[in-house]
Structure 1
Amino acid sequence: MDQETLMNAVNPLISKCQIASSTGILDLNDSQLTEIPDEVFNFMSNAGTEIKHCDLSGNLMEEIQPKLALDFKFITNLNIAHNLLATLPKEIGNLRALESLNISCNYLFELPDVVFKLPHLIYLYAQDNFITEIDVEKPIESDNLALVDLRYNTLEPEFLRKLMNTPTTFRLVLNDADMTENDFDDDDDQDDDDGFIKN
């Protein structure tokens, strides 16, 4: 076994960083991480690669280090689903190229304000958290926002009523059950697989 193979066996993150240095895709999912190791930041900095896609899903992170947004500022796709996150750092707003953000299956009780400050965001996946409502009247910097998925949250009936009477520039995906239980009758789309979609 040569030295490089031995190092990869000892620290599998090295091989993942090596792949990222040539592809621009950093895949660290299901790596039992509580944070992004400094070695990852140092490796990618020395490699001089612009990371476009970053997958940190399925880890044990309670917070995202601000350093991610500062070092990987060209990311277009960030997946931090299935972690232990209760908030996002304000520095995420520095990801000016971000188009897709997946924060599903975490411990978010509100939708972080920073997501509304991402100018090129198209897709926001926030399902399976503990969100009770969002401020649909809050200014959204992105003119491209097309989809916000809020299925499997704890949305308040009062918020749902307000939502049905508030025009939005993006598609909201909600639970069919939420709409049925609260007796909402509307002309929006309904799909058994995708849930209730408000245009």
Structure 2
Amino acid sequence: MFRIQEDLLLATTLLCFVCAKEVTDLDVLSSKPSRCTYEYAYDMYGAHCGGLRLTKIPSLRSGIEILDFSDNKLQELHADTFYGYSSIKYLYLAENQIYLIEENALSYLTSLQTLDLSNNVILELPDSLFQLPSLRKLYLNGNPLLHLSLSNLQITKPIKAPLELLDISENKLKVLPDWGILPQLLLYNISHNPLTSLEAQHFVSMCRLQKVDLTESINKVTLCNIKLTVTWFQEKHIYFQLGDYSRLNSREFDNCPRLEISADLNSTYQRCDSVYTKLKNVRGSRSTWLTIGGGLAGFLVGFVLLLYIMHRHNVAQTKRAANKALKKTLPTTVGDIPPTVGLLNNVS
């Protein structure tokens, strides 16, 4: 009886220990890291610093291509903030408190392809942001103070950044900014802005545009004032997204006079298309020259390797021939010693 009670006590103790250990493990799994972690994603080396409530970007390992610094307390981006991290391709700074971006704060990021600055309090955008040579996706949504400067945005045109996606939703915009020609833009999100107008002129300089998100943005715009823009979208097969299409299906919209697309609009579109064609040709030429250069480099390496192999072969043959000649001239017996050798020996 005592043995049974002892076994039960031991089992209970072990069970409590296991339970305690399981709770400890769960606590460890659910706890957030206290410092940046590093890992590979899509064959790229990345640093994850999200949700650490950091006020500045710490010293990170070199060579990172992805930096997730979302959900922190970063407020300012200075000229030296990203110094030494030119390899970054994807930068996520959403859900911070960023209000200041110095003019050269992003200039070092020449490889940057995606930049997420959503849900901050940015006051003004630097011109250098739009000149980044590799930037394709830019998220600026959810910056409630950005409308104070974005409507009168002063940037160098044409924009050098090859933007394909631009998100400026939820920024309290009443007037859309003048971006100039964006020949590679495919997706444009201007949803949830209290726009007072929607001019076709704004979209004709986006000659590769495929989709525009207008959800909850044109409720205050007079129907007849968007007739020309809708006609442009339809003619260029641009999908425009609305939360409610009933206004466009109304008799009021049908009764609006149909405006013809002006020569100025077509001219701007053609200019954009010309810029796109030049960019495409430049990329094609660069790709061709890279292919030719790679082929020539491979040929030269192979040619040098062939010369080296032939040289080694010739050296080996020369050595073999020399060894054979030497064997023929050397005496094999005492009787084969030349008379001159004997005379020299007698003289000495």
- Superposition TM-score, scaled by structure 2 size: 0.44
Q: Which residue of 2 aligns with 1:4?
A: none
More off after superposition, 128-137 vs 96-105: 128-137
Structure whose CA Rg is larger: 2
- State percent identity of aligned pairs: 23
Is residue 50 of structure 2 the alignment partner of residue 35 of structure 1?
Answer: no
Q: Which of 168, 180, 183 matches 2:219? A: 180
Q: Which of 28, 41, 54 matches 2:67? A: 54
Q: Which residue of 2 aligns with 1:165?
A: 201
**Displacement after TM superposition at 1:163 (Å):** 5.7
Q: Which runs of 5+ in 2 are unaligned?
A: 1-30, 178-194, 244-348
> What is the DSSP-based 3-state SS (H/G/I as helix, E as strand, rest coil) of the residue aligned with 2:240?
strand
**Displacement after TM superposition at 1:181 (Å):** 1.8
Q: Which residue identity lines up with residue 206 of structure 2 in the other structure?
A: T
Q: Which residue of 2 aligns with 1:69?
A: 82
Is residue 211 of structure 2 the alignment partner of residue 190 of structure 1?
Answer: no
Q: Which residue of 2 aligns with 1:155?
A: 173
Q: Which residue identity lines up with residue 77 of structure 2 in the other structure?
A: I
**Displacement after TM superposition at 1:96 (Å):** 0.6
Task: Provide closer, same or farther for how the CA distance between residues 85 and 169 of structure 1 changes in structure 2, counting only shifts above 3 A.
Answer: farther
> Contact 2:198–2:221 at 8 Å: present in 1 too?
no
Distance 1:50 1:158 in 2: 38
Q: Which residue of 2 aligns with 1:124?
A: 138
Task: Provide closer, same or farther for how the CA distance between residues 156 and 29 of structure 1 changes in structure 2, counting only shifts above 3 A.
Answer: same
> What is the DSSP-based 3-state SS (H/G/I as helix, E as strand, rest coil) of the residue aligned with 1:180?
coil
More off after superposition, 58-67 vs 74-83: 58-67
Distance 1:170 1:136 in 2: 21
Is residue 158 of structure 2 the alignment partner of residue 139 of structure 1?
Answer: yes
**Displacement after TM superposition at 1:137 (Å):** 7.5
Partner deviation per Cα, 1:45-102 (whole Å, 9 max, x = no partner): xxxx411000111001111343342121111100101111113231302211100000
Partner deviation per Cα, 1:88-123 (whole Å, 9 max, x = no partner): 231302211100000010012333322211011100
Task: Provide closer, same or farther for how the CA distance between residues 175 and 152 of structure 1 changes in structure 2, counting only shifts above 3 A.
Answer: farther
**Displacement after TM superposition at 1:169 (Å):** 5.5
Distance 1:169 1:113 in 2: 23
Is residue 137 of structure 2 the alignment partner of residue 101 of structure 1?
Answer: no
- Between 1 and 2, higher relative CO (CA 8 Å, sep ≥ 6) is seen in 1
Specify which structure has the higher proportion of helix: 2
> Contact 1:29–1:58 at 8 Å: present in 2 too?
yes
- Superposition TM-score, scaled by structure 1 size: 0.72
Aligned pairs, number: 172
Distance 1:60 1:35 in 2: 8
